[in-house]
Amino acid sequence: MAQFARPRVAAPRLEREIFVLVSSGRARSRKEIAESLGIAPSTVSQRVQAMLASGVLEETGEGASSGGRRPRALRVPGSTGYLGVVDVGGTHARLGILRHGGELATTTEVALAIADGPEPVLTQVTTALRELAGTLGSEAGAGAPGSGASADGGRLLGVGISLPGPVDVARRALDSPSRMPGWSGFDVGSWLEDALGVPAVVENDANAMAVGEHFGHPRRTRHTVSVKAGSAIGAGILVDDRLHRGAGGAAGDITHTRIPAAGDTPCSCGNRGCLETVASGAALVRLLREQGYDVAATADVLDLVRDAEPVATTLTRTAGRHLGEVLCAVVNFFNPGAVYLGGALSTLEPFVSAIRSQIYEGAHPLMTRDLVIAPSALGADANLVGVGRLLEDALVPHALAG
């Protein structure tokens, strides 16, 4: 049967996957677990039984028995609650509360300046997160924080944050980000844990987006590349449903790939001729300014292209072709099932269609035959959902962590 086609999963990893499904609320029964993982119900029952015996899971469902076996739901003891998720950009942060089941219950945005440094920014973020959680509590009819688990609200179980720079995930700190004074090496994870009293995960924004998009599209594929094209360009990779960070945590960083069309143009990385210098929002701003246009930020470029301004449209299409050229090599090498396009530039039709045609023309037919190239499914919420998934993984008890 097709549902058993998935490769056999080793027991520790299987228990971990079961735990995450149950703790996140995406599966509540053995049947739902078996369907979600595509493995035999008997295998699931065996593992669940062991997890019940060790107290990692418990059964609920006090409903009266109607003769047969009463349906019992699985849950993680003490897990009633929600996750705080944050996506920090250069000039604003988007925040959300993820409820049990992975649904974004509510979101908000706050203006900030990442160049102010970590402590002012994180103080703003935690204040806003507490306020957001407060609104959720009153909606759900929950009592004051600390009054115990309510039916739906519960308490904050963890916080996940995505940051716009290279992240050392183990140290939970940024690693030499450009234009972010004070952030390099600052332990964002510990700061958040001290401030909020719950576990924290820290991730790079392109990776967070990639995880969100990977699980957010209705037609699922196990191998995906997600590209974030905004004022800079980033990409994240999932292999076999797991984020691939690479040996140094920099996997997917295609923005500094040198391409002939970029010539000798100096790049923010200190090199010359990088993709970023011809295909990013910052590059489009520079190119338009060179032609006398009064533009200051990527948002100005978006306005011009949406108004069908011919020069901006042509430059944007060319930028898409350059990015598509680099993605051809990525697709040929990695053979993904889908390439998802996010970030502000990916809301522009000329940019997306240029990428699409470049990949379909340039990559090998075996790679493109079943390849899906699709715009972001989650838009501005992709990072929040993605960092929430990573947080769910991080909340797995040490006994199951593998």
| Given 20, 173, 238, 267, the residue binding Zn ion (CB under 5 A) | 267
Considering the rule CB under 5 A, would residue 269 count as an interface residue with Zn ion?
yes
The CB-based long-range contact list for 169-175 (8 Å cut-off, 24+ gap) reads: 169/201, 169/202, 169/203, 169/245, 169/249, 172/200, 172/201, 172/202, 173/202, 175/249
Choice between 271 and 347, CB closer to Zn ion: 271
Q: How far is CA 108 from CA 92, 136, 155, 213, 350, in A?
A: 10, 12, 19, 20, 30
Choice between 20 and 330, CB closer to Zn ion: 330
Choice between 74 and 274, CB closer to Zn ion: 274
Considering the rule CB under 5 A, would residue 356 count as an interface residue with Zn ion?
no
Q: Of the listed pieces 25-33, 91-99, 251-259, 280-288, which binds Zn ion according to CB under 5 A?
A: 251-259
Q: Of the listed pieces 4-12, 85-93, 245-253, 266-274, which binds Zn ion according to CB under 5 A?
A: 266-274
Q: Of the listed pieces 82-90, 136-144, 274-282, 347-355, which binds Zn ion according to CB under 5 A?
A: 274-282
Considering the rule CB under 5 A, would residue 271 count as an interface residue with Zn ion?
yes
Considering the rule CB under 5 A, would residue 256 count as an interface residue with Zn ion?
yes
Considering the rule CB under 5 A, would residue 274 count as an interface residue with Zn ion?
yes
Q: Of the listed pieces 16-24, 270-278, 312-320, 353-361, which binds Zn ion according to CB under 5 A?
A: 270-278
- Total interface residues for Zn ion by CB under 5 A: 5
Choice between 147 and 178, CB closer to Zn ion: 178
Considering the rule CB under 5 A, would residue 258 count as an interface residue with Zn ion?
no
Considering the rule CB under 5 A, would residue 124 count as an interface residue with Zn ion?
no
Q: How far is the CB of 255 from Zn ion (least distance, A)?
A: 7
- Phi-psi region for residue 202, left (φ > 0), alpha (ψ -120 to 50) or beta? beta
Choice between 126 and 280, CB closer to Zn ion: 280
Choice between 63 and 266, CB closer to Zn ion: 266
Binding interface with Zn ion (CB under 5 A): 256, 267, 269, 271, 274
